[in-house]
Amino acid sequence: TGIPSIKDVVDEFPVGAAITPAALLGEHGKLLAKHFDSVTPGNALKWDATEPSEGTFRFADADTMVAFAQANDMAVRGHTLVWHNQTPAWVFLDDTGAPMTATAANKALLLARLEAHIRAVVGHYGDDIPVWDVVNEVIDESQPDGYRRSRWYEIAGLDYIRTAFRVAREVAPDATLVINDYNTNVPAKRDKLYALVALLKSEGVPIDAVGHQMHVNIDWPATAEVEAMIQKFVPLGVEQQITEMDVSIYTSESESFPTPPADRLLKVAYKYRDLFALYRRYAAEITSVTVWGLADDDTWLDTFPVTRKDAPLLFDTRLQAKDAYWGVVDPS
Ligand code: XIL
């Protein structure tokens, strides 16, 4: 009864949603389980959540999400093992408690912490989490080499990425290991990511998939640019996943509406329609699509990059299906 389930209609690949703890409760939980094949903990698997101080692990929130997923026949995407945000300060402090400088000893300490973290987190879940965003947002296309100057990179160079994938593979040999980033449709960024993945794969670093976040808006990007993005990575022989899609009603930081205007909501729907149709045409490459939230009552875009009401998801603040939902399930 009721409207069609997204996961029944879109059968080319699993469709997931990122969640906060509230998404499991009451009507939210029913909506989630009805429409989606998988969940991505939005914050609960990040380093600040799982290892807030060295060697102290907290898995309660993520364990609850995994249990919900299993009870409802859903999968879980692990997000994320290495990032420059939401990583506790202690990770980058040397053995005197001062911020690490780029010495060989500090690099060894940092990589040892990274290895211990991945062993603990990935090992805790084993087969319950079969796909991991191993590294997140490591590209900065404004750098000539394309490598983001994060604390990770400053102290360990590319070895933090090599270590992360090798340890993840060792602990979870069957898991799909993903390098995830945003704006991968932008040619300059896309090409830098391509070059890095090509280099690492030539070295034997076990990267299985490229993750495209797809935080887009009503006017950007054009479908053709997203198609070029997908085609770019085909020669690398990697899977591709859409990991964090949402469609902002805003096209600049200076705009703000107290409630989403009808014409903008329609454009959100067209963007979902066009991009889902594209993903489905490329089902040989795209192995999952995840939206970054369940409904518009809980979206990170309400506070990023500025505080203002956004409406980037498939269900509205009252959990009703939006035109965006119909764009996905009935693209005609
Ligand atoms: C966001 C979460 O949704 C927010 O709750 C948190 O405050 C900040 O991070 N790219 C990513 C995600 O890879 O981890 C981010 O998630 C959104 C942008």
Q: Quick check: CB of 302 below 6 Å from ligand 1?
A: no
- What is the total residue count of the chain? 332
- Tell me if 42 CB under 6 Å of ligand 1: yes
137 is catalytic: yes
- What is the pLDDT at residue 262? 98
pLDDT of residue 332: 84
Q: What would the DSSP string read from start to end of 183-226?
A: -TTSHHHHHHHHHHHHHHHHTT----EEEE--EEETTBS-HHHH
In a domain, 20, yes or no: yes
Q: Residue 15's pLDDT is what?
A: 99
Dmax over Cα atoms in the chain, in whole Å?
A: 63
What integer pLDDT is reported at residue 129 of this predicted model? Answer: 98
For residue 1, tell me if it sits in a domain. no
Query: What are the tens digits of pLDDT across the range 62-98?
Result: 999 999 999 999 999 999 999 999 999 999 999 999 9
- Report the nearest-CA residue for atom 4 of ligand 1: 300
Task: In whole angstroms, give the CA distance from residue 236 to residue 179.
Answer: 13
pLDDT tens readout for residues 140-180: 999 999 999 999 999 999 999 999 999 999 999 999 999 99
Task: Work out which ligand 1 atom sits closest to the CA atom of 293.
Answer: 3
Q: Let me know if residue 163 belongs to a domain.
A: yes
Check residue 70 and give its pLDDT: 98
Question: What is the model's pLDDT at position 115?
Answer: 98
Catalytically annotated residue among 12, 51, 115, 137: 137
**Parts of the chain with a pLDDT under 70:** 1
CA atoms 57, 59, 62, 66: torsion sign: positive
CATH of the domain at 117: 3.20.20.80
Overall number of domains in the chain: 1
- The reported pLDDT for the residue numbered 27 is 98
Q: Is the CB of 244 under 6 A from ligand 1?
A: yes
- The predicted pLDDT at position 28 comes to 98
Beta carbon of 293 within 6 Å of any ligand 1 atom = no
248: in domain:
yes
Segments forming the whole domain that contains residue 140: 6-329
Angle between the 104-125 and 159-171 helix axes, to the nearest 10 degrees? Answer: 30
Q: Is residue 319 part of a domain?
A: yes
CA torsion 197-203-205-208 (nearest 10°) is: 50
Closest CA to 329 of 281, 291, 272: 272
Instruction: Tell me the one-letter amino acid at 254.
Output: S
Q: Whose CA is nearest to atom 12 of ligand 1?
A: 42
